[in-house]
Every structure is written in structure tokens, then in C-alpha cells.
Amino acid sequence: MVIVSFLAPVLAPYDPTIQDLNIGLSVPSWEHLLGTDQLGRDILSRLLWAGLSTIALTAIVLSLSLMLGGGIGMCAGYFGGFVDEVFMRLVDLFLSLPKQILALALVGTLGSGFPNLVLALTVGWWPTYARLVRSQVLAIKTNEFIEAAEALGGRPLHIIRVHLLPALVGPVLVQLSLDVGASVLAIAGLSFLGLGIQPPSPEWGTMLVDACPGLNW
């Protein structure tokens, strides 16, 4: 799906935004393999381009969540004490709020649009990575090679970069792979409610509403 979505500019037979009311709601044919929507736009082309925008948005959201949450989790786990207490209470606060409800509240307040959608989803996802990175750092920093590096006068940034970050790659990649599907679903859900990617840009949630007029409130 990722490969096909990134090849949308090559594979899509038509421009996903071009309208032709004369062929609206056409059945599948050789010209339009999946038919057309009510505005005469090619559904296959819109599916492919929607996948590209959704996956790109997912990558941005998860990358920002990892950088923000990972940085906070790294500081909390490595330095401990007061820093750990402050950061973890902040994480607990955000974890107490459901991701989707928090995203709905932020987008509803700030308004729809790409930047606000990225912000709303990132705010809901970063605490997961903060908790994950902190737990891994707490387990790793008790190892003898970390103690040896500190005894040799290694600076915190050097220890984090050389010893801690490589050890975090595996767990973080697993968590990222698990969050991809949930993030795609969250983006589609917000677009389904009219708070995500706005028309005429194709998006899976918006396409679902267009395909089921009875759901369009």
C-alpha cells in the first residue's frame, strides 16, 4: 500500500480533482476501473492520491511525536530526579485524555487545515513515545558499559548519542509500526467528520462520506 500510494503520480490514470458531471456516478469500466463519484471524479485516482497524502501526513505526525516524546523520555530517564518527576506528570496528564477526543477538541478549536491537523495528532501521540523511551533508558543505563562510560568522564550528550540511542532503535521501530495503522484511522476519522484534510484534496475519510450521502450531516 505504501509503495502504490507513493507511485500515485505515475499510476493514477486521471487528475483526482478534475470534475465531469456528465459521467457522475458511472459504474466501473475500462475508462474508469472503479467508476466515478457524484462529481465525475475518477475513484481509483482519488484512492491512490488519498493514500499518498494520508501516509505522508502519518509519517510527519509520527516523526514529530517521536522527536518530542523521545526527547522528553530520554531526559526523564537519564537524568531522573526532579526532571523525571516533572516530565512524567506531564505525560500522565496527556495520557489521561483519549487521543481522538483530544484531537477533535484541538481541531475544533483551532480550525481544520493541514498544520492544525498535524498539531492535534502529534499532541495525542507523543506521550506514548515518552513513556517507551524513558522505560528503555531506565533499563539500559544500569548496564556496566554505561557506568564505565560515565566513569571515564563521558559527557551526557555523548553517552546518549553513542550508547543509548542505538539501543532504542528496535523498540521504537516496533512502536512506530504499531502506530501507523492507528494514525491512518485517526486521520480518516477526522476527515470523515469534516475536520481533517479538506476538499477538493482526496482523503479516504472524506471519500467515505461522499460515497454514502446519508452519512453526510
The CATH number of residue 125's host domain is 1.10.3720.10
pLDDT one-digit tens code per residue, 154-190: 788 888 888 888 889 999 999 999 999 999 998 888 8
Identify the pLDDT of residue 152.
Answer: 82
Tell me whether residue 20 is in a domain: no
Q: How many domains does the chain have?
A: 1
- 42-64: burial string, b at 16+ Cβ within 10 Å, e else: bbbbbbbbbbbbbbebbebbbeb
Is 140 a domain residue?
Answer: yes
Contact 62, 180 (CB under 8 A): yes
**Residue ranges making up the domain that contains 143:** 49-215
**Backbone φ and ψ of 112, nearest 5°:** -75, 165
pLDDT digit string, tens, across residues 11-50: 999 999 889 888 888 899 998 899 888 888 999 999 999 9
Percentage of the chain modeled with pLDDT above 90? 41
pLDDT value of residue 130: 94
pLDDT digits (tens, 9 = 90+) for 53-83: 899 999 999 999 999 999 999 999 988 889 9
109, pLDDT greater than 90: no
